[in-house]
Amino acid sequence: MTDKIEMKIIGRIRTDFPTKFGIPRQSGVVKELKGRIVFEPEYRSAEAVRGIEGFSHLWLIWQFSENVREGWSPTVRPPILGGNTRVGVFATRSPFRPNSIGLSSVKLEKVELNTSEGPVLTVSGADLMDGTPILDIKPYIPYADSHPEATEGFRSGGWNRMLEVDIPPKLLEKVPVEQREALLGVLQNDPRPSYHHDPERVYGFPFGKMEIKFSVNDKKLKVIHVI
């Protein structure tokens, strides 16, 4: 027996997040966010995705490529608990794990078989950075994967840092129409690190071809610049 296994990258996802800042903390939270899964040359086969169009949702298994590190810690500090309380790593979805593997449920929006990059899958609700390696794709099956009676442990009540967003009309005009709802959803979900509460601080992150600058005072986020 060996304590190591080989994993192959089958593709990469293209999203509007060139950095980690601003990415939703869970898949499906901002349903308007779109992503394109482009397969690696070895896996650019229309046969490999035959029948996938019949499924409305998919599971993406992927690598936390920006959080690969040597060693691991048995406890982590999840943002939903304020970033100060430690719990077991296997009771969380933290990227800092023995194996840097992520799991996301996304909606399949479109299947294109004959692009210049081979078959391409367009999905929505993804919580992945641009270029994230995809290790596998599996169909979401409601009768097996949906558990309405499931309990949420310390996550009970969901994310409680939703914000009111103020984007001046002149700045909103700088955002392409097709990206406005997605950006609004990202901002409403408070993209700041969980331990940041300085109302004077200006935050910024790249989104698509734009740079978004904002500040937060109490429960109100105000967009200051769209560059």
What are the two backbone dihedrals, phi and then psi, of residue 60, each rounded to the nearest 5 degrees? -105, 130
Distance of CA 105 to the CA centre of its chain: 10
Are residue 128 and residue 179 in the same domain, yes or no?
no
Indicate which CATH number applies to the domain containing 46. 2.40.30.70
Host domain of residue 164: 160-226
Decide if 177 is inside a domain. yes
Kindly give, in sequence order, each residue whose CB lies less than 8 Å from that of residue 44, ignoring residues fewer than 6 positions away.
117, 118, 119
* Amino acid 96: pLDDT: 86
* Amino acid 71: pLDDT: 77
Indicate which CATH number applies to the domain containing 208. 3.30.2310.20
* Amino acid 197: pLDDT: 80
CA–CA separation, 217 and 208 (whole Å): 25
Are residue 194 and residue 136 in the same domain, yes or no?
no
* Amino acid 84: pLDDT: 80
What is the per-residue DSSP string for 159-201? -----EEE--HHHHTTS-HHHHHHHHHHHHT--S-TT---TTP
* Amino acid 68: pLDDT: 61
Are residue 141 and residue 185 in the same domain, yes or no?
no
- pTM of the predicted structure, to 2 decimals: 0.92
Are residue 133 and residue 181 in the same domain, yes or no?
no
Decide if 47 is inside a domain. yes
* Amino acid 157: pLDDT: 64
* Amino acid 160: pLDDT: 65
Are residue 120 and residue 55 in the same domain, yes or no?
yes
CA–CA separation, 27 and 55 (whole Å): 17
Distance of CA 37 to the CA centre of its chain: 13
**pLDDT per 10-residue tile (average), the chain, 227 residues:** 86 97 92 97 97 98 80 85 87 89 97 97 97 98 95 75 94 97 96 84 96 96 97
Are residue 179 and residue 218 in the same domain, yes or no?
yes
Decide if 4 is inside a domain. no
Are residue 110 and residue 186 in the same domain, yes or no?
no
